[in-house]
Structure 1
Amino acid sequence: MNAISLRAFNDNYIWLIGNGRQAVVVDPGDATPVLTALAERELALAAILITHHHHDHTGGVKQLLAQYPDVAVYAPAGERLPVPDAIALKEGDRVSLPALELELQVLEVPGHTLGHIAYYGNNMLFCGDTLFSGGCGRLFEGTPEQMYRSLSRLAALPGSTQVYCAHEYTQSNLAFCHAVEPGNTALLSYMKEVAKCRQQDVPTLPSSIERENAVNVFLRVAQPEVRAAAQMQALRELNEEHEIFAALRRWKDHF
């Protein structure tokens, strides 16, 4: 079983988890690349997983159901569901996918949107727009405190966990991380690796929790260099970690 990245729009990744016979798709904003990949690989669609309600993550659901009407759609209970009979998920629920011998735990990770969820299992994390490599999602609905708690939960997962983000933002995110923490040698090494990938038009994902904890400033607010940079940007002392996070997020919004 492996996860294949399917490109959509300018920089979205739709993830197709397949075992050679059947597949599950995560956040299909566009049905066309999914249908193409299923046909090319001779896979049957077993389920659709949604992390949040934004159209670039749900826009292809109805077209996929037109081709696969019996497929179950799983989506967050706290958000507008893409189809009326979607299976609503909340914290602690588990999605059992026997066709792939896969079980995924549901994590509520509000911040980008209020009902955002992530799927975790088999050493894989499908985190939508909550965590990016070197970054995190914008706060369209949630508060900095909510997003920081969500990111902290993900950062505490085993380091070997593979992180399947929903956008190819890595290179621009790392440029921001370098502005915040220029002395981070792990970051400098990763920037070189990512630059080579992008020159070859190769995806930079998946990342890993271990790597993100080493380079992603939004997970590194306790580091003295990160805190100092955030305070300089905010022009005041920041005592709480969520305050440092909030200052970094505001900085990144205009970087």
Structure 2
Amino acid sequence: MNTLLVEEKPDRLIVRLHRPEARNAINAEMVGDLHAVCSFLERDPRPLLLTGGNGFFAAGADIAELLERGRDQALQGINSTLFERIRRLPMPTVAAVDGYALGGGAELAYACDIRVAGTEARFGNPEPNLGIIAGAGACWRLKELVGEPLAKLVLLAGHTIGAEEALSCRLVASVHEPESLEAAAHTLIDRMAKMSPAALRLTKLVLDAPPSAHPVTDHLAQAVLFEDPDKHARMRKFLDRNRKDTR
């Protein structure tokens, strides 16, 4: 892959956006590379750590490509289709955002399950300055994440959310010095790696289900897990440990 640096580990996949000459702007080639990552994770589910480098998560979509796109490309939803696919990956996704996440870069971060930020992180959607909307999810996803007043400030008035404000509105889970950001993201995934993979996967599925699907989805997921040998092994281990502690 020319636009990504990928490191595969048994319990996670680490993907670094890598177009340093373009501040990690998301172009068609990167979209294709990220679809390939999604295909891999759909076949072999594991948590994803997504990050950037050189002081940028991603400085937006590639403007030179956007300039040449017309109505037909807009209706294809090139970026929004990718970001929704990332949101629907079977296992949790963590975005480690250091520096700027703007436009499509911000929308990519919004599509992840959890975000952690460096102290210099900045989230923004300046698309109206370029004569377009934030059409890859920000116009509805950001409102769900931070609430309507702040989302309108970002999308209608060009407000940029800095790291501390992102923490206070819970857009990000935590803020760290840049040199410790990835370690913090890995700590989150370390916790996930200790959990039942099936329980983690079904929890995400139930969390993302529409309100009308509850409580049926909850009951079905629990029914599957109640028959899982891993559930029996984990509960026996818990009970055995408690018995030893009470002796």
TM-score band, normalised by the shorter chain?
under 0.3
| TM-score, with length taken from structure 1 | 0.26
Q: Which has the larger radius of gyration?
A: 2
TM-score (norm 2): 0.27
Higher helix residue share: 2
- The structure, 1 or 2, with the larger RCO (C-alpha pairs under 8 Å, 6+ apart) is 2
